[in-house]
Amino acid sequence: MSLLQSPNTRKRLVFVIIIIIAAALLALALVLVILLQAVPPTATDLLSPKDRFGITRLYPTSPGGIEWSSKWDNGAARTIVNDVDPEDDWFETKHGDGTYTIDGAGTLTASGDYVRMYVHDPANEREWSENLEITLYVKRIDETEIVDYSGMQVFARTNHGTEGRENVNYCDDRGYGGLVNINGGWAFEKETAHHLDDGYTRAAGQRPSGELPLNTWVGFKYVLRNMDDNTKVKLELYRDMTGGLNGGSWQKITEFIDNGNNFGVDRGACRPGVDPALPLIHSFIDDSSETGKPMLTVYVRHEYGTMAYSDFSIREITPLP
């Protein structure tokens, strides 16, 4: 009887073949998972009326535009302190003083005196589009100190120390902020000179109701779009008080158009010779940018307390005509 005719040998051979096939199938499954994670949103996804959290999109995604969304719901509980999120290299917290606890089920709780959450290309090469729809939900928990700007602030069209130093590259610190104060006020802020007391100005403030409620999810949308052939900037703020039910019921709270003569006039300049009233548009500000990348990041901040965040997304949209 030959070796292959032995019953024991045949059994061992069949077992080995089964193991090889199982290993091959497992490897194929892992490759498919990696590929699916790497694939950008499809055209169908981008045209969907809702984002991956089920929150309504107000404006269409631009052709070729990217959409970032937080990975706080991936099942990986973790705590970040002045570091890059190990689950998402676009998200980092290295610019402030805070502790960021992610429960893995969709919520990030941020505590500290100077909470700063930056979202940007980890290679610091690709800037964000000028035209964005930024969405997140915020829950006020407590404050350790109250100042006149207590609350959440979301800034775009800025670099602000992402590449270079924010206490050196003052023109790269310029940006547009969308604010919701704990006193219930909603407004826009333009940072014109980070190092000067008069390097900030606000516009279009509204107080739609009482204080920002405690322990309640409040939806926040911040829209920035160029208009009039890229010579002006339209800013919009929206609120949802349903906790995202059926995509949210989005109420416009305030809007403002920066036309170059009404936002930053007579404020401090990032350096001599630079007009602080310039709309923050590439064609107007690139020459004064220290890095040539004045729109590298979007960041969220709050001071002196604890807030929770969820359903955070940044999406590139089309400008107005």
Q: Would you list the domain boundaries of the chain?
A: 3-35, 59-316
Question: The tokens 């999109």 sit on which residue?
Answer: 57
Of 47-61, 80-94, 295-309, the one with minimum mean pLDDT is: 47-61
- The 10s digit of each residue's pLDDT in 285-310 is 999 999 999 999 999 999 999 999 99
What CATH number has the domain spanning 59-316? 2.60.120.200
Burial class from Cβ neighbours inside 10 Å (0-12, 13-18, 19+) for residue 317 reads buried
153 close to 189: Cβ distance less than 8 angstroms? yes
Q: Is the pLDDT of residue 38 over 80?
A: no
State whether residue 168 is helix, strand or coil.
coil
Give the whole-angstrom CA distance, residue 278 versus residue 259. 8
Return the ∠ at Cα 309 (arms to 306 and 311), rounded to 5°: 180
The yes-or-no verdict on residue 1 having pLDDT over 60 is no
d(CA 76, CA 87): 8
**pLDDT tens digits, 112-132:** 999 999 999 999 999 999 999
Reported as a pLDDT band with limits 50, 70 and 90, residue 3 is: very low
Q: Which two tokens stand for residue 56?
A: 């309504």
Give the Cβ contact number of residue 87 at 10 Å.
16
The region that residue 75 occupies, defined by phi over 0 for left and psi between -120 and 50 for alpha, beta otherwise, is left
